[in-house]
Structure formats: C-alpha cells, structure tokens
Amino acid sequence: MKSFYARFYPYIKDYYFFFFCAICASALNAGCTASATYLVKPVLDKIFTEKDAAMLLLLPALFVATYFGKSVGAYAQNFFVNYIGLDIVRKIREDVLAHMLRLDLEFFNKMRKGELIARITNDIGLVRAAVSNYFADFMRESLTIIGLLCVVIYQNPRLAFYSLVVLPLAVLPILIIIRHLKRISRKTQEKNSDITAKISEVFNNTEIIKANNGEQIELEHYKRENHHFFKLGIKATLIGGLNGPIMETLGAIAIGVVIFVGGSEVIAGNMTTGEFGSFTTALFMLYTPIKRVIGIITSFQDALVGGERIGQILDLRPSIIDGNTILQAPLQELSINNVHLHYDEVAALNGVSLAVKRNEIVALVGRSGSGKSSLVNMILRLYDPSSGEITINGTNIKHFTQKSLRDHITIVTQRIFIFHDTIAANVAYGQAIDEARVIESLKKAQAWEFVEACENGIYTMLDEFGANLSGGQRQRIAIARAIYRDCDVIIFDEATSALDIHTEEAVRESIDTIKKDKIIILIAHRPSTISLASRVYCLDNGIITDITTPQGFLARDEIRHNA
C-alpha cells in the first residue's frame, strides 16, 4: 500500500485543497451522525420519562438539522471525491499513454494491443477508486467511528469495553480474506486483459475470420476466457462476501453482551433507559462504519493490483535513447556502416554497409526475410543497430533528437495506416492542412482522380484502417502523405506493390520528378521501379551480396529466371 501511494502521490498532491474540502465534508457528515445518536438520550429521558413539553419541538428540530447537516456533508464529499478521482484518472491515462508512446517499437510488437487497452482503461479505473473514493470514504468512516466511539465511551466506559472487546477476533479471518482477494484480483485482471486482447484480435481480423468460417472457433475461445473470468468473479464474491457475516456475528455477540450487562445496570438503577438507548443506538451505528472500513480495505486489493500493473508499464524505459542535437537540413549523405541487428536470438542483419547521397535513388532488393525492412527501420531509429553505425552528414544518428531525425525522413510501408478522418487530414497527417498542397500531393501520387470523384473531395471521411478504399487507393493515399511531408529522405518499402501496372508506371514517374534534392531508398521487386535507382543493393540473409546497376541486376535476374 505504501508503494502504491508513493507511486501515485505526485498526482494526489495537486489536490490538497480538494481533499481538505472532502475531509471537512466528511467531518460534517460524521459529526452529524454522532450527534443524531446522542440526541436519542434527551428524546427518551426528557420527552418520554420527564414529559418535558418544551423539548417536544426543540429535539425534532435538532434531529432534522443534524440529518440536513449529514446530507450536505455527504453530498459535498461525493462531489469533491469524484472530482479528484476523475481528474486524477484523466492525468494518469494521459501520462501512461505518453509514456507508452516513448517506448520502443519492440514493446508494442511484444505486447498484445488488447492487454495495453485493458491496462490503460480498466487498471487505471481501479486506481481511481483508491486515490479518491477509498481515501475519502476511509476518512469519513474513520471519523464516524471516532465520533461514535466518543459517544459510546462517554456514555458508559465499562459497557463500551464489553461491546468492543470482540473486535480483535475479526482481525485474523479478515487478513486471510484480504490475502486471497489480492490473489484472485491479480488473476481477474490478467483474465480481463486476455478477454480485451481477444476482442481486439477478433475486431481487427473480421475479414479473415469470416472468410475462413472462423466465427465459431473465435466464439468458443471467447466463451472459454469469459467463463474463466466469471468463475474468478464468483470466487471473489464468495470470499469477499465473508466479511459481512463475520462482522455481523461478532456484532451480534457484542450486542448480546451489552443487553445483558447494560440491562442489568438499568434494572439495578445505575443507568437510565435513555442512556442505555443512546448507547445501543451509537453501538449499532458503530458497526456499520467498521464494516465499511473493512470493505474498503478488501476492495483496495483490486486497486493495488491495478496500480502494480500500471507501475510495470511506467517502470519500463526505452532502450532507444534520444540524442540532443537537432538534425538540420540539407541532408547531404546517409551512410550505413557495417551494421548488425539482432532481434533477441534472431540475427536479421550481419554487417551491412550502404551509402546514398542527395539527389540519388538507391534500390534495396532481396528475398522475403532478407532484412530489407529491418534496415530501413533502423534509419528511423525504430530499432538501434546491435553494432555498427548509421550516419547522416557524417554524424551518428544516435546523436540527433528522434523528433528532428523523423522530421527529415518519411517512409511508406507495406502496412498502410489510414486514420478515421478526412482524406485531407490523412494526407497532411501531423501537419496543418494546406488544401493546394494536399491536392498537389494527391495528383503526384496518382490519387487525385478517385479523390476528385468522391462527393466531398479531399474532405471525404475515411473509415478506420481505410476500409472504404481499395488496397491500391490506400497505398496512393500513403504515397501522397509521404510527398506532402516533403522530407529530405523518402523510403518506399514495397510502396507500389498493390498498384496496377499503369498506376505504378505513373507513380514511378512521380517519384522521378520529386527526387531532386532528396535521398530516396526504394525497396522494390518490380523491374520498372528498380530501374529508377542509380544503384541496386542485393540483400540476402542479412548480408549485402552485390552492389550493381539496375541493368546489371535485371539482366542477372532474367538469366536466373530463364535458368
């Protein structure tokens, strides 16, 4: 619990004033609750025993006033507590996402997306209760307990001792329950992540699931996970629910003892009926906040586990460390020097060297899995070389800030990213929309024809993942995005693979026209695209096996095909 509050203290400390208000509201609530029980004594003694008519008006009015105060306190506390909770959750969510986005691509490749969604939504939601509701509820109930204890002890210390002596008996069973609940809570939250991950997988692959009649398999899988989740919930209910009966039983024993001892004192004339009535009312009311405090401690286990799971993410540090030099244009030369790259045990690149100058286009060719994408990913510092270095204008790219580096490099990948936004916003992604430039980029990417035909032109909304576009249209939007960014280095990673021959020919011509003052790297298979390059690097098994001209490469490729 200490480490939980240590981690989330930076968020909590901004709300001292609100906590102060919540505590004042709790104190009002608790004070009025205790006063109401105290009023039982004059009601019984003054009205019913002494028949004091003046009290007949005053005491009911005081009752109404104390309950009004109690309600105002409860309402204000509810507001302040929820304000703190909602605002803290907002900040934690923003910080966790910002932190995640600073982590390496490797982190996103290894973690399931649903797991990340569960942590940022469900786990943070659980923390909310602990940083606001539980804390304030704990304060309120504790203050109520203190207030009622004062009434009980003031009324009759001896009777108070008999009625409270049973409480320590509850400690051991409650501790056992808490330990079990924490274990179940961890499993529940892991299972919740599994379920969210499964749903995210299903929604991202509906096309393939339907095409392969996979609906039943997916549903069965989901049902299994869901049933497991249900069983954990039931287990938590069965164990967590034991708190109530334990406290009720101990409470009943305490009340029995009080009736026996207190009743004897009333019969013996050592205590008035009013004192006894007030004492037992306070005692009855005392058990409710005690039960609630125990309930808060048990529910807190969920928050502790949620906090731990968020902490695991917040403790991760990116292995790609930012440089502090701003990369300045113009970029004259990009050089890859004896670079090796290992993904855990897999060696993807084994001593690759390559150099490309401004106004040059080079092509990278090789079989699937030869390491082409890995190489270009390192230029963007999505991965760092295991050894060797990549330099721009003679400086190792590790010295540049990642932002300035990526401001000068753009990539069109095989996986096209289309956001649920307008075509214009998709083309200008990350920058302000300049309509003329958007249209110009679309024209160069051979996309203008189909965009112009859309009812809303460049303001046509695109579905998530570009579901309302063809594969080739998606690719052309991505090419337009790269052209719009007008970076010094443009990397086309199989960017024209989904285009028909004629469109590819037109895009090829566009690439030829934008090459001035640029460094262009093409990963390509089609001879027509490869022929744009001044040099071709042949990659095989993570090694450059040949550096040749497009003509040399194509002639050799033809011989290989004819052999």
Ligand X SMILES: Nc1ncnc2c1ncn2[C@@H]1O[C@H](COP(=O)(O)OP(=O)(O)OP(=O)(O)O)[C@@H](O)[C@H]1O
Stretch that binds ligand X, among 25-33, 201-209, 331-339, 372-380 (CB under 6 A): 372-380
- Least Cβ distance, residue 368 to ligand X (angstroms): 3
Q: Does position 343 bind ligand X by CB under 6 A?
A: yes
Taking the complex as a whole, how short is the minimal distance between the CB of residue 536 and ligand X, in angstroms?
15
Q: Is 369 in the site for ligand X (CB under 6 A)?
A: yes
| φ, ψ dihedrals at 492, nearest 5° | -110, 105
Provide the minimum distance between the beta carbon of 332 and ligand X in the complex, in angstroms, as a whole number: 27
| Shortest spacing between CB 529 and ligand X, in angstroms | 14
Q: Which stretch binds ligand X (CB under 6 A): 200-208, 259-267, 314-322, 342-350?
A: 342-350
Shortest Å distance, C-beta 105 to ligand X:
8
State the Cα–Cα distance between residues 19 and 89, nearest whole angstrom: 16
Q: 316 in the Ramachandran plot: left (φ > 0), alpha (ψ -120 to 50) or beta?
A: beta
What the block records as the tokens of 523 is 């990963």
Choose one: 268-276, 289-297, 343-351, 547-555; the region binding ligand X (CB under 6 A): 343-351
Q: Does residue 372 bind ligand X (CB under 6 A)?
A: yes
Q: Is 496 in the site for ligand X (CB under 6 A)?
A: no
Q: Is 351 in the site for ligand X (CB under 6 A)?
A: no
Cβ nearer to ligand X, comparing 304 with 378: 378
Stretch of residues binding ligand X (CB under 6 A), selected from 27-35, 370-378, 393-401, 551-559: 370-378
* Closest C-alpha to 379, from 413, 344, 347, 346: 413
Verify binding: residue 345, ligand X, rule CB under 6 A: no
Exactly one of 26, 156, 370, 441 binds ligand X (CB under 6 A); that residue is 370
Over the window 432 to 471, marking each residue x when it contacts ligand X by CB under 6 A and - when it does not, the resulting string is ----------------------------------------
- d(C-alpha 98, C-alpha 361), whole Å: 36
Smallest distance, ligand X to C-beta of residue 427, A: 25
Q: How far is the CB of 366 from ligand X (least distance, A)?
A: 6
Q: 422 has which bridge partners?
A: 461
List the structure tokens of 406.
Answer: 């990526």
Give 481's contacts (C-beta < 8 A, 6+ positions apart): 410, 412, 426, 427, 428, 429, 441
Binding mask 102-141 for ligand X (x = CB under 6 A): -------x--------------------------------
Stretch that binds ligand X, among 85-93, 224-232, 340-348, 462-470 (CB under 6 A): 340-348
CA–CA gap between residue 46 and residue 40 (Å, rounded) = 10
Tell me whether residue 106 or residue 201 sits nearer to ligand X (CB atom): 106
What strands lie across the sheet with 360-366, from one edge to the other?
409-412, 489-493, 519-523, 360-366, 535-540, 543-548
Least distance (Å) from ligand X to the CB of residue 106? 7
Position among 371, 385, 466, 550 found at the interface with ligand X (CB under 6 A): 371
Provide, rounded to whole angstroms, the least separation between the CB of residue 349 and ligand X.
8
Among 193, 196, 374, 422, binds ligand X (CB under 6 A): 374
Q: Any alpha helices (H) in 381-495, and if so which ranges?
A: 402-407, 423-427, 435-444, 448-453, 471-485
Least distance to ligand X, CB of residue 99, Å: 21
- Residue placing its CB nearer to ligand X in the complex, 156 or 370: 370
Member of 156, 193, 243, 373 binding ligand X (CB under 6 A): 373
* Length reported for the chain: 563
Provide, rounded to whole angstroms, the least separation between the CB of residue 400 and ligand X: 23
CA distances for 259 relative to 254, 262, 266, 288, 559, angstroms: 9, 5, 10, 19, 105
Two tokens at 42?
């004059």
Report d(CA 348, CA 561) in Å as an integer.
Answer: 26
CB 413 within 8 Å of CB 493: yes
Report the residue from 73, 262, 366, 466 that binds ligand X according to the rule CB under 6 A.
366
Alpha carbon separation from 345 to 160, 317, 387 (Å, rounded): 69, 21, 15
Residues pairing with 390 in the sheet: 336
The window from 119-127, 208-216, 311-319, 368-376 that contacts ligand X (CB under 6 A) reads 368-376
Burial of residue 506, with CB atoms counted within 10 A of its CB: 0-12 exposed, 13-18 middle, 19 or more buried: middle
Q: Which helix (H) or strand (E) element contains residue 21?
A: helix 16-38
381 is an interface residue for ligand X by CB under 6 A: no
Joined together, the tokens standing for residue 260 give 């026996």
Residues touching ligand X, count (CB under 6 A): 12
Binding site for ligand X (CB under 6 A): 109, 343, 346, 348, 366, 368-374
